[in-house]
């Protein structure tokens, strides 16, 4: 649910509808997107002081439309003006197409195949999410000028593709939708991985991913993968309150205080996947796994057999060795550590020196009682991860499985 309590919430809700209306009228995504951003900034400073206009959407369309026309007037190219005048005359005065479809079309444009996720994500946040460049820059910890350039280059690429402002044709629709879902998934993961408790200065990227996924799901209610992704996000986000300790350290699933999980999000996520019919997709299977965890009273009472079967299904669908890693954990929980370790044996060639292979092997060796092996693998994983909190966790685990005695510790001589 998007609250109208604040101007900010209202502006973010209206942003894609206003942008959709302008792109339809002026047929210039890049210019319309700039104009909408300016109108949103104007509204954000004006409305809290002067009050909201009677029809906020119409106000934004009018102000953004004026900016776009001003920009065109400044444009020196005569040809450009002539083209534009021609396009005005054929554009219908009011567009009856509902905003929900515009949001979906904008999602397809922003998650364009010519863009890397690093470019598609900020563009989506600005054009569809209604966030300001500054907010996005802060969320990704880069200077505003750098982020502005990244968004502007992304728009130039979309523009160069010369795509009409309509839904992709049925031939490319499935593939394009997969890209939209992938971008939303990465955005969610970015937020989930970097969040550390209440951090008011940074935009909640996981929350943004969920907010952006909702209208996509509303527009495509029968698509099982869209519902699967939204469910996966809700079911994962439900655990967020328990995922970090007071000191900001990661709390693994087995040790989380399950009374802190968000029951409303769990209920909503479960309801989304229960209703699904037909062939299972990847996001759906991942959501089903998350649902099993979320509905288990404790880590020990988890139905590991079901989780093992679901990872087996996901492994056959994706062929992804990372999935095999997770299946090995489930196998160890269901059938003992030896079963899990046996599954890891084939992964060295596929995953090489990946930190997560070391981390999983370390956990399973610890379960099997091989203290020296677990210690070495936790250390190896800690040295290879690129995430600081993961590194702290793995270093601590290594120290816990094999506490150093004073005679073990090698002290450098300093004097």
The correct pick among 212, 228, 326, 394 for binding other proteins (CB under 8 A) is: 326
Chain centre distance of CA 344:
29
In 3-state terms the chain splits into helix, strand, coil percentages (rounded to 5) of 70, 0, 30
Do residues 237 and 265 lie in contact, with contact meaning Cβ atoms separated by under 8 Å?
yes
Cα–Cα distance measured from residue 160 to residue 28, given in angstroms and rounded to the nearest whole number: 11
Cα–Cα distance measured from residue 19 to residue 57, given in angstroms and rounded to the nearest whole number: 10
Q: Which of residues 347-366 bind other proteins (CB under 8 A)?
A: 356
Give the nearest distance from C-beta 376 to other proteins in angstroms: 21
Cβ proximity to other proteins: between 256 and 385 the closer is 385
Cβ proximity to other proteins: between 246 and 388 the closer is 388
Cα–Cα distance measured from residue 51 to residue 167, given in angstroms and rounded to the nearest whole number: 36
Give the nearest distance from C-beta 193 to other proteins in angstroms: 4
Cα–Cα distance measured from residue 104 to residue 226, given in angstroms and rounded to the nearest whole number: 12
Candidates 58-66, 146-154, 330-338, 368-376; binding stretch for other proteins (CB under 8 A): 146-154
Q: Which of residues 266-285 bind other proteins (CB under 8 A)?
A: none
Per DSSP, what are the bridge partners of residue 244? 250
Between 170-194 and 205-219, two packed helices, what is the crossing angle to 10 degrees?
A: 160
Which residue from 163, 183, 67, 164 is spatially nearest to 118, judged by alpha carbons? Answer: 183
Candidates 13-21, 149-157, 210-218, 240-248; binding stretch for other proteins (CB under 8 A): 149-157
Cβ proximity to other proteins: between 132 and 385 the closer is 385
The correct pick among 114, 387, 400, 404 for binding other proteins (CB under 8 A) is: 387
Phi and psi at 404, nearest 5°, equal -70, 135
Residue 409 makes contact with other proteins by CB under 8 A: no
Cα–Cα distance measured from residue 377 to residue 80, given in angstroms and rounded to the nearest whole number: 63
Give the nearest distance from C-beta 81 to other proteins in angstroms: 28
Candidates 27-35, 73-81, 116-124, 166-174; binding stretch for other proteins (CB under 8 A): 116-124
Residue 114 makes contact with other proteins by CB under 8 A: no
Residue 150 makes contact with other proteins by CB under 8 A: yes
* Spatial CB neighbours of 320, under 8 Å, sequence gap ≥ 6: 314
Per DSSP, what are the bridge partners of residue 250? 244
**H helix intervals, 275-303:** 282-294
Between 304-318 and 282-294, two packed helices, what is the crossing angle to 10 degrees?
A: 170
Residue 37 makes contact with other proteins by CB under 8 A: no
Give the nearest distance from C-beta 384 to other proteins in angstroms: 11
Length of the chain: 415
Cβ proximity to other proteins: between 103 and 133 the closer is 133
Residue 66 makes contact with other proteins by CB under 8 A: no
Cα–Cα distance measured from residue 4 to residue 14, given in angstroms and rounded to the nearest whole number: 11
Tokens encoding 72: 């065109």
Q: How many residues bind other proteins (CB under 8 A)?
A: 34
The correct pick among 20, 330, 390, 394 for binding other proteins (CB under 8 A) is: 390
Q: Which of residues 188-247 bind other proteins (CB under 8 A)?
A: 189-190, 193-194
Give the nearest distance from C-beta 286 to other proteins in angstroms: 6
For the chain, first and last CA: distance in Å? 64
The correct pick among 66, 153, 173, 263 for binding other proteins (CB under 8 A) is: 153
Residue 413 makes contact with other proteins by CB under 8 A: no
Give the nearest distance from C-beta 369 to other proteins in angstroms: 27
Cα–Cα distance measured from residue 305 to residue 326, given in angstroms and rounded to the nearest whole number: 13
The correct pick among 169, 386, 407, 413 for binding other proteins (CB under 8 A) is: 386
Candidates 26-34, 272-280, 342-350, 380-388; binding stretch for other proteins (CB under 8 A): 380-388
Count of C-beta atoms within a 10 Å radius of residue 366: 20
* Spatial CB neighbours of 82, under 8 Å, sequence gap ≥ 6: none
Residue 138 makes contact with other proteins by CB under 8 A: no
Give the nearest distance from C-beta 141 to other proteins in angstroms: 7
Candidates 127-135, 144-152, 238-246, 337-345; binding stretch for other proteins (CB under 8 A): 144-152
* Residue numbers at the binding site for other proteins (CB under 8 A): 116, 118-119, 140-143, 145-147, 149-151, 153, 185-186, 189-190, 193-194, 286, 314, 318, 320, 322-323, 326, 356, 385-388, 390-391
């Amino acid at each position: 649910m998007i609250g109208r309590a604040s101007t900010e919430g209202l502006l973010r809700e209206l942003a894609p509808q206003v942008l959709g209306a302008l792109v339809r009228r002026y047929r210039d995504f890049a210019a319309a997107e700039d104009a909408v951003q300016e109108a949103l900034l104007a509204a954000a400073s004006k409305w809290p002081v002067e009050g909201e206009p009677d029809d906020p959407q119409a106000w934004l369309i009018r102000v953004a439309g004026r900016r776009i026309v001003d920009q065109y007037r400044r444009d020196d190219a005569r040809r450009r003006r002539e083209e534009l005048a021609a396009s005005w005359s054929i554009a219908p005065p009011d567009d009856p197409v509902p905003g929900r479809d515009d949001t979906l079309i904008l999602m397809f444009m922003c998650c364009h195949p010519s863009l890397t996720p690093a470019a598609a994500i900020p563009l989506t946040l600005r054009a569809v999410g209604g966030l300001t460049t500054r907010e996005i820059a802060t969320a990704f910890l880069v200077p505003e000028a750098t982020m502005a350039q990244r968004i502007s280059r992304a728009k130039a690429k979309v523009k160069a593709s010369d795509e009409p402002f309509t839904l992709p044709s049925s031939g490319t629709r499935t593939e394009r939708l997969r890209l939209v879902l992938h971008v939303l998934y990465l955005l969610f993961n970015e937020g989930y991985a970097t969040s550390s408790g209440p951090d008011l200065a940074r935009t909640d990227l996981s929350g943004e991913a969920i907010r952006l996924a909702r209208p996509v799901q509303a527009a495509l209610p029968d698509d099982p993968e869209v519902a699967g992704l939204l469910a996966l996000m809700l079911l994962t986000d439900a655990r967020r309150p328990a995922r970090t300790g007071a000191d900001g350290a990661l709390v693994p699933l087995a040790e989380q205080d399950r009374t802190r999980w968000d029951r409303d999000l769990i209920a909503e996520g479960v309801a989304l996947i229960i209703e699904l019919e037909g062939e299972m997709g990847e996001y759906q299977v991942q959501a089903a796994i998350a649902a099993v965890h979320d509905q288990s009273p404790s880590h020990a009472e988890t139905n590991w057999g079901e989780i093992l079967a679901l990872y087996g299904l996901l492994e056959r669908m994706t062929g992804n060795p990372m999935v095999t890693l997770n299946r090995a954990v489930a196998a160890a929980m269901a059938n003992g550590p030896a079963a899990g370790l046996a599954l890891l044996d084939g992964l060295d060639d596929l995953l090489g020196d990946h930190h997560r292979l070391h981390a999983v092997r370390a956990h399973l060796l610890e379960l099997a009682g091989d203290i020296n092996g677990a210690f070495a693998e936790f250390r190896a994983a800690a040295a290879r991860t690129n995430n600081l909190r993961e590194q702290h966790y793995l270093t601590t685990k290594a120290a816990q499985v094999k506490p150093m005695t004073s005679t073990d510790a090698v002290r450098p001589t300093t004097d």
